[in-house]
C-alpha cells in the first residue's frame, strides 16, 4: 500500500536553499541595516523652532533695511543741490543823477541792523531797468522838493526782481526814527494794497536778506517788520508772513 501523501524531499530542500541564499544576499547588500536598526527621529523642540524663526526674521529685516538704505543713498545722489540765484543789484552810482551823493553814502559809518522794515512806495510798478531808473529818478526829484537829499530807503525791489541801492548798507533812514539805527528799510516798488507782489520780488528780497547777513550788515537773528505808509499793503504782508523772521506783533496788520 502506497502512502496517501508523498513528500518531495528534493524540492523542499531546494526551496530552503533558495530562501537561505536570498537572506544571505540581502544581508551582504545591506549590512548596516542589521548593525544600526532604524529608529524614529526625535520631535523638534519648540525652543529650536522659535530660535530659527527669529534668526530668519532678523536676516530678512537686515536685507530689507539694506535695500532701503541703498535706495535712499541713490536718491540723495540724484538730487541736485539748490541753485543760489545771485542778487540782481543795481548800485546807486548806476541809476542816480548825482554820483557825488553815492560817494558820500559809501563813506558813511557802517551799522549792523537787527531788523528789516518792508514798505510799499505807493507808486506804479516797473518791470525793466530803464523804466525803473526813470521812476526812481522822478521819485528822488520829488523827494528833493520836500527837503530830502535821498530816497528814504536802503534798497528798493522792482517787479522784475532787481534790487536798487538807495541809502545802501551804510546810510540810515529817517522814515521811521525809532528804527533809524537798527533797521534796513526795504521798499517794494508799487502799490500792494490789492495786488500781490511778483514771485521775483519776493525771491529777490530773500536774496537781499541773505546777502546782508553774509556781509554782516544784518544780524543773523533779524526780524522782518511790515509798516504802512499811505495805505496798508495787505497783499505784500500776506506774501511775507510765511517767512520765519516775520513779526506779526511789530507789524501794522
For 116, the domain range is 106-240
Residue 192, in any domain of the structure: yes
Q: Is the pTM of this model over 0.75?
A: no
DSSP 90: E
Instruction: Dump the DSSP string for 132-165.
Output: HHHHHHHHHHHHHTTT-SS-S-SEEE-TTS-EEE
Residue 88, in any domain of the structure: no
Residue 16, in any domain of the structure: no
Residue 31, in any domain of the structure: no
Residue 50, in any domain of the structure: no
| DSSP strand pairing (183-188 vs 89-90) | unpaired
Q: How far apart are the first and last CA of the chain?
A: 145
Residue 252, in any domain of the structure: no
DSSP 128: S
CA 105 to chain centre: 39
d(CA 133, CA 151): 13
Beta strands in 10-53 (DSSP E): none
pLDDT at 76: 52
Number of domains observed in the structure of the chain: 1
d(CA 202, CA 150): 24
d(CA 67, CA 70): 5
Closest by CA position to 139, among listed 100, 92, 198: 92
Report phi then psi at 219, rounded to 5: -65, 140
User: What's the CATH code of the domain at 146?
Assistant: 3.40.80.10
Q: How many alpha carbons lie under 13 Å from residue 128 in its C-beta half-sphere? A: 2
Which residues, 6 or more positions from 178, have their beta carbon under 8 angstroms from its beta carbon? none
Is the CB of residue 176 less than 8 Å from the CB of residue 117?
yes
Grid cell locating 248: 506779526
Radius of gyration over every alpha carbon of the chain, rounded to an integer in angstroms:
47
Helix (H) or strand (E) holding 221: strand 218-226
Residue 94, in any domain of the structure: no
Per-residue pLDDT in tens (0 to 9) along the chain, 253 residues: 444 444 454 544 554 454 555 555 545 554 544 554 555 555 567 878 888 887 888 888 888 887 788 777 766 554 444 445 688 999 988 998 765 555 555 555 567 899 999 999 999 999 999 999 999 999 999 988 888 888 999 999 999 999 999 999 988 898 999 998 899 999 999 999 999 999 999 999 999 999 999 999 999 999 999 999 999 999 999 999 999 999 999 999 8
Report phi then psi at 244, rounded to 5: -65, -20
Residue 18, in any domain of the structure: no
Express each pLDDT in 75-125 by its tens digit: 655 444 444 568 899 998 899 876 555 555 555 556 789 999 999 999 999
Write down the H helix ranges in 43-198. Answer: 46-78, 92-95, 99-106, 129-144
Closest by CA position to 171, among listed 106, 238, 250, 244: 106
Amino acid at each position: 500500500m502506497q502512502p496517501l501523501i508523498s513528500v518531495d524531499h528534493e524540492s523542499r530542500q531546494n526551496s530552503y536553499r533558495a530562501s537561505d541564499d536570498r537572506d544571505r544576499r540581502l544581508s551582504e547588500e545591506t549590512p548596516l541595516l542589521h548593525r544600526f536598526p532604524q529608529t524614529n527621529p526625535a520631535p523638534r523642540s519648540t525652543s529650536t523652532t522659535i530660535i530659527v524663526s527669529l534668526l530668519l526674521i532678523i536676516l530678512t529685516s537686515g536685507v530689507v533695511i539694506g535695500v532701503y538704505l541703498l535706495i535712499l543713498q541713490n536718491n540723495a545722489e540724484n538730487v541736485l543741490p539748490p541753485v543760489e540765484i545771485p542778487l540782481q543789484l543795481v548800485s546807486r552810482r548806476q541809476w542816480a543823477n548825482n554820483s557825488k551823493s553815492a560817494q558820500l553814502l559809501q563813506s558813511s559809518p557802517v551799522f549792523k541792523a537787527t531788523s528789516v522794515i518792508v514798505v510799499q512806495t505807493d507808486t506804479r510798478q516797473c518791470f525793466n531797468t530803464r523804466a525803473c531808473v526813470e521812476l526812481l529818478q522822478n521819485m528822488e526829484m520829488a523827494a528833493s522838493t520836500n527837503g530830502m537829499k535821498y530816497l528814504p530807503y536802503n534798497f528798493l525791489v522792482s517787479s522784475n526782481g532787481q534790487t536798487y541801492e538807495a541809502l545802501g548798507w551804510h546810510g540810515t533812514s529817517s522814515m521811521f526814527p525809532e528804527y533809524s539805527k537798527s533797521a534796513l528799510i526795504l521798499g517794494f516798488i508799487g502799490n500792494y494794497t490789492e495786488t500781490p507782489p511778483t514771485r521775483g520780488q519776493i525771491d529777490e528780497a530773500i536774496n537781499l536778506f541773505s546777502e546782508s547777513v553774509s556781509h554782516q550788515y544784518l544780524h543773523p537773528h533779524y526780524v522782518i517788520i511790515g509798516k504802512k505808509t499811505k495805505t496798508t499793503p495787505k497783499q505784500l504782508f500776506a506774501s511775507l508772513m510765511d517767512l520765519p523772521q516775520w513779526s506779526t506783533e511789530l507789524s501794522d496788520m
